């Protein structure tokens, strides 16, 4: 017994030494003012000898998630993070750019209000390595899990048996998992709802150049508004599946190759349903790919949030990009030469070396992040009308990207002409001016005369709309 205690004490000592080293390393590396950097350690209060079992792991991961959500919501920048594990249990060290007092308020709030908060030990230190205790910020000490006594005092008095404590933790975990399951299911459902809304609102925005809308079929002969609607309905619930799979990938630390296999499986089933609903017409293949990967990445982000709220879309797009790393090389550069039958994207790549939807996703959706989403926000403000805002965003995307749908049925010079017409419409004031509207009609006429349709831009508009709506549904933590 003595040996075990000796070992525990030694490893506790090691943690302290590690913390000091961590603080020194950060101070040596940083360019920021040290007094505005706070150091935080996350450990778990768990009774008994098994400090590295599955329950501790779950509680530990949730404590990090709860903290990251607070970083995200409060725009707190994490400077450095390290995780270590020894027989005292896992520890995470984080250095963040925030005043220690403010971070203390946040961590106390998590400890007091999160459903598992009583098991979290979120300790705060300043750059001198001094602990900022609850007492120092005028708060009373933490209470024991089970009784109203001061936790440290209760522990010293050994008021509760190990069995009693263990039973309590087990019950709390069961309740937490039930609650968390409902939170996750609600989140997954809301992802499906906004994905479907994005599809439908893009479809209904009218009039659009070359695309199907409420008024006509644009440049399409083989599909119409009703078919698009039916197809959107047929693929709707796959966005839940993508989000759920993204959560699974995050929880299980699935590697990229396996993650892509899982997501591809869902994508193929969604395509099957789409073809069934349309009698074999490809209505939504592009958007199943783009929005599929983005909804999956949103599920992943829900489990492993990072960064700050203002960069939400960037962070989610980055997760998708990471999964897709290598896709243009594997599916376009290396493969299209040998395949007998190519998709439109592969054909366009062969002729023009334009990477299309795959390239866009692999690069982290730069057209959405740099053009689509900012344009949409601006246009909502400009028009106070979503439909007009969507149409203007479509114009911005059309003026910026090399749309593979236009290249597939048209050519480079037609693409250039279309980009210029879109640009000019915007320069003339868009839908705010008669000249703008007149030029927009010219664009519509040109698209229909040449039987061209900006399908790639439309898909990126859908992703932009999805991101625009997403900010309203993140996050809820299970509270007591």
Of 14-22, 80-88, 148-156, 341-349, the window that binds Zn ion (rule: CB under 5 A) is: 148-156
Instruction: Candidates 64, 116, 144, 260: give the one binding Zn ion (CB under 5 A).
Output: 144
> For residues 135 and 17, is the Cβ–Cβ distance under 8 A?
no
**Would you say 79 or 146 has its CB closer to Zn ion?**
146
In this structure, the number of other CB atoms found within 10 A of the CB of residue 270 comes to 25
Of 108-116, 138-146, 161-169, 306-314, the window that binds Zn ion (rule: CB under 5 A) is: 138-146
Tell me the two tokens of residue 429: 């004031």
What whole-number distance in Å separates Cα of residue 46 and Cα of residue 60? 10
**Would you say 11 or 121 has its CB closer to Zn ion?**
121
Taking Cα atoms as reference points, which of 366, 367, 363 lies closest to residue 325?
363
**Would you say 159 or 435 has its CB closer to Zn ion?**
159
Of 91-99, 122-130, 142-150, 235-243, the window that binds Zn ion (rule: CB under 5 A) is: 142-150
Q: How far is the CB of 285 from Zn ion (least distance, A)?
A: 60
Taking Cα atoms as reference points, which of 110, 80, 109, 114 lies closest to residue 95?
80
DSSP notation for 292-331:
HHHHHHHHHHHHS--S-GGGHHHHHHHHHHHHHTTHHIII
> For residues 242 and 292, is the Cβ–Cβ distance under 8 A?
yes
User: Of 156-175, which residues contact Zn ion (CB under 5 A)?
Assistant: 159
**Would you say 111 or 392 has its CB closer to Zn ion?**
111
Q: How far is the CB of 123 from Zn ion (least distance, A)?
A: 21
| 108 binds Zn ion, rule: CB under 5 A | no
In this structure, the number of other CB atoms found within 10 A of the CB of residue 93 comes to 22
**Would you say 165 or 379 has its CB closer to Zn ion?**
165
> For residues 420 and 413, is the Cβ–Cβ distance under 8 A?
no
**Would you say 55 or 154 has its CB closer to Zn ion?**
154
Q: How far is the CB of 68 from Zn ion (least distance, A)?
A: 30
Asked if the peptide bond before residue 207 counts as cis, ω within 30 degrees of 0, the response is: yes
**Would you say 154 or 200 has its CB closer to Zn ion?**
154
Instruction: Candidates 58, 79, 84, 146: give the one binding Zn ion (CB under 5 A).
Output: 146
Q: How far is the CB of 15 from Zn ion (least distance, A)?
A: 25
**Would you say 146 or 281 has its CB closer to Zn ion?**
146
Half-sphere exposure of 1 (CA within 13 A, CB side): 0
Q: How far is the CB of 45 from Zn ion (least distance, A)?
A: 12
Q: Contacts with Zn ion: how many residues (CB under 5 A)? A: 6
Asked if the peptide bond before residue 402 counts as cis, ω within 30 degrees of 0, the response is: no
What whole-number distance in Å separates Cα of residue 325 and Cα of residue 317? 12
| 153 binds Zn ion, rule: CB under 5 A | no
**Would you say 144 or 369 has its CB closer to Zn ion?**
144
**Would you say 91 or 144 has its CB closer to Zn ion?**
144
> For residues 4 and 87, is the Cβ–Cβ distance under 8 A?
no
Of 78-86, 88-96, 141-149, 334-342, the window that binds Zn ion (rule: CB under 5 A) is: 141-149
DSSP notation for 452-469:
---HHHHHHHHHHHHHHH
* DSSP designation for 141: P
Instruction: Candidates 147, 153, 268, 420: give the one binding Zn ion (CB under 5 A).
Output: 147
User: Of 235-274, which residues contact Zn ion (CB under 5 A)?
Assistant: none
Q: Which phi-psi region, left, alpha or beta, contains residue 403 (left: φ > 0; alpha: ψ -120 to 50)? A: beta
What whole-number distance in Å separates Cα of residue 275 and Cα of residue 3? 67
In this structure, the number of other CB atoms found within 10 A of the CB of residue 335 comes to 13
Q: How far is the CB of 141 from Zn ion (least distance, A)?
A: 13
**Would you say 159 or 417 has its CB closer to Zn ion?**
159
**Would you say 147 or 276 has its CB closer to Zn ion?**
147
Q: How far is the CB of 144 from Zn ion (least distance, A)?
A: 3
| 154 binds Zn ion, rule: CB under 5 A | yes
Closest residue to Zn ion: CB criterion = 144
What whole-number distance in Å separates Cα of residue 157 and Cα of residue 279? 74
What whole-number distance in Å separates Cα of residue 96 and Cα of residue 79? 5
> For residues 52 and 58, is the Cβ–Cβ distance under 8 A?
no
Of 8-16, 28-36, 67-75, 136-144, the window that binds Zn ion (rule: CB under 5 A) is: 136-144
Instruction: Give Cα separations from 151 to 28, 47, 140, 156, 163 (angstroms).
Output: 36, 12, 11, 9, 17
Which residues make up the interface to Zn ion (CB under 5 A)? 144, 146-147, 149, 154, 159
């Amino acid at each position: 017994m003595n040996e075990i205690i000796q070992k525990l004490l030694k490893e506790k000592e090691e943690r302290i030494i590690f913390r000091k080293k961590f603080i020194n390393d950060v101070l040596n590396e940083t360019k920021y003012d040290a007094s505005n950097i706070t150091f935080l350690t996350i450990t778990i209060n768990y009774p008994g000898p098994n400090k590295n079992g599955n329950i501790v792991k779950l509680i530990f991961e949730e404590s990090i998630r709860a903290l990251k959500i607070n970083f995200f919501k409060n725009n707190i920048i994490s400077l450095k993070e390290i995780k270590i594990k020894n027989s005292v249990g896992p520890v995470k060290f984080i250095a963040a750019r925030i005043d220690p007092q403010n971070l203390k308020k946040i961590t106390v709030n998590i400890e007091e209000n999160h459903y598992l908060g009583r098991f979290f030990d979120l300790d705060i230190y300043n750059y001198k390595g001094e602990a900022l205790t609850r007492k120092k910020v005028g708060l009373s000490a933490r209470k024991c899990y089970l009784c109203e006594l001061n936790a440290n005092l209760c522990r010293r008095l050994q008021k509760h048996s190990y069995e009693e404590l263990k039973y309590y933790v087990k019950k709390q975990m069961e309740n937490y998992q039930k609650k968390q399951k409902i939170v996750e299911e609600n989140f997954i459902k809301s992802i499906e709802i906004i994905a479907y809304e994005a599809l439908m609102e893009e479809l209904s925005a009218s009039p659009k150049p070359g695309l199907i809308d409420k008024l006509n079929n644009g440049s399409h002969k083989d599909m119409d508004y009703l078919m698009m609607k039916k197809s959107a309905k047929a693929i709707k619930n796959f966005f839940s599946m993508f989000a759920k799979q993204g959560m699974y990938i995050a929880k299980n630390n699935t590697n990229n190759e396996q993650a892509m296999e899982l997501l591809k499986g869902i994508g193929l089933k969604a395509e099957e349903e789409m073809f069934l609903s349309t009698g074999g017409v490809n209505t939504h293949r592009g958007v199943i790919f783009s929005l599929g990967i983005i909804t999956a990445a949103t599920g992943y982000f829900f489990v492993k949030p990072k960064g700050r709220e203002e960069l939400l879309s960037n962070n989610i797009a980055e997760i998708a990009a990471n999964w897709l790393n290598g896709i243009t090389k594997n599916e376009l550069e290396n493969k299209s030469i040998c395949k007998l039958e190519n998709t439109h994207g592969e054909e366009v790549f062969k002729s023009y070396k334009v990477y299309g939807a795959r390239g866009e996703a692999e690069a982290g959706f730069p057209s959405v992040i740099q053009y689509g989403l900012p344009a949409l926000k601006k246009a909502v403000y400009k028009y106070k009308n979503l439909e007009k805002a969507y149409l203007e965003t479509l114009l911005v995307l059309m003026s910026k990207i090399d749309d593979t749908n236009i290249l597939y049925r048209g050519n480079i010079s037609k693409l250039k002409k279309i980009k210029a017409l879109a640009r000019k419409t915007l320069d003339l004031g868009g839908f705010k001016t008669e000249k703008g509207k007149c030029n927009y009609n010219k664009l519509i006429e040109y698209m229909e005369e040449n039987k061209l349709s900006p399908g790639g831009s439309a898909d990126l508009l859908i992703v932009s709309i999805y991101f625009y709506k997403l900010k309203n549904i993140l996050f809820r933590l299970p509270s007591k």
